[in-house]
Structure 1
Amino acid sequence: MRYEIRVDGEMTETLAKAFPELEHVVMSGQTILYGPVVEEAHLYGLLARCQSLGLRVLEMRQTPE
């Protein structure tokens, strides 16, 4: 499965390193994290990581492979 997680704000490279398994792109004041998610527990772990880093998740969606 591939997922896209859109967060509010432009993440720094240092902050993006907290998500080594995902690629990221900054667009219009938002950061999009995207990449493979191997299982549901991995997805919940990514969301927990966002929360612990104080990132506001705007959207999360599964994307075609």
Structure 2
Amino acid sequence: MRYEIRIDGHLSKTLVEAFPELDHVVVSDQTLLFGPVVDEAHLYGLLARCQSLGLHVLEMRQLPE
């Protein structure tokens, strides 16, 4: 499965490095993190990481294969 997590604002290099398994791109005033998610536990782990870093998740969606 591939997912996209849309974060409010521009992430610093340090914050981007907290997600080594995902690629990222900045669009307007948002950062898109995207890449493979191996299972539901991995997905919840990514969301927990966002929460612990104080990131504002705007949207999360599964991408077509």
Task: Judge same fold: TM > 0.5, yes or no.
Answer: yes
Deviations 1:9-43 (A, max 9, x none): 00011110000000000111100000000000000
Q: Percent identity?
A: 77
Question: Aligned-residue CA RMSD in angstroms?
Answer: 0.4
- Paired residue for 1:16? 16
Count of paired positions: 65
Cα separation, 1, equivalents of 2:54 and 2:32: 15
**Residue identity matched to 1:3:** Y
Q: Which runs of 5+ in 2 are unaligned?
A: none
Does 1:41 pair with 2:36?
Answer: no
TM-score w.r.t. the length of structure 1 is 0.98
Q: Which runs of 5+ in 1 are unaligned?
A: none
- Paired residue for 2:26? 26
